Amino acid sequence: DAGVIQSPRHEVTEMGQEVTLRCKPISGHDYLFWYRQTMMRGLELLIYFNNNVPIDDSGMPEDRFSAKMPNASFSTLKIQPSEPRDSAVYFCASSLTSGRLNEQFFGPGTRLTVL
């Protein structure tokens, strides 16, 4: 298996622009997580899905952030409009209910820079 796939790996945009991050979880996994990692705040859970349904979005910073999972093999995290403080590495992770308990497999991340 190729593991969790994220695209793009790097994104540089200007303040006010829309940014869309993409994730393909490991095939067969039923949980999908979006995290944000910064030096100041560490690794923060933004939102997670179970069987394509959002379960907990309490970590989403504000209305500028939205996430969707239209099917079991694809999810997006959108920021509109983007701001410089959104600059971070965004990770997607997936896990399997029947697998090792709470083991999440992380993608390589998308490094976002908002100028």
Partner 1 sequence: GESVGLHLPTLSVQEGDNSIINCAYSNSASDYFIWYKQESGKGPQFIIDIRSNMDKRQGQRVTVLLNKTVKHLSLQIAATQPGDSAVYFCAASKAAGNKLTFGGGTRVLVKP
Listed ranges 11-19, 39-47, 60-68, 75-83: which one lies at the site for partner 1 (CB under 8 A): 39-47
Stretch that binds partner 1, among 19-27, 40-48, 61-69, 71-79 (CB under 8 A): 40-48
Angle at 46 between CA 114 and CA 66, to 5 degrees: 65
Token pair belonging to 39: 């030096």
Query: Which residue do the tokens 């540089």 mark?
Result: 12
Q: Does 105 bind partner 1 (CB under 8 A)?
A: yes
Rounded Cα–Cα distance for residues 12 and 31 (Å)? 28
Q: What are the residues binding partner 1 (CB under 8 A)?
A: 4, 31, 33, 42-45, 48, 50, 55-56, 91, 93, 95, 97, 100-109
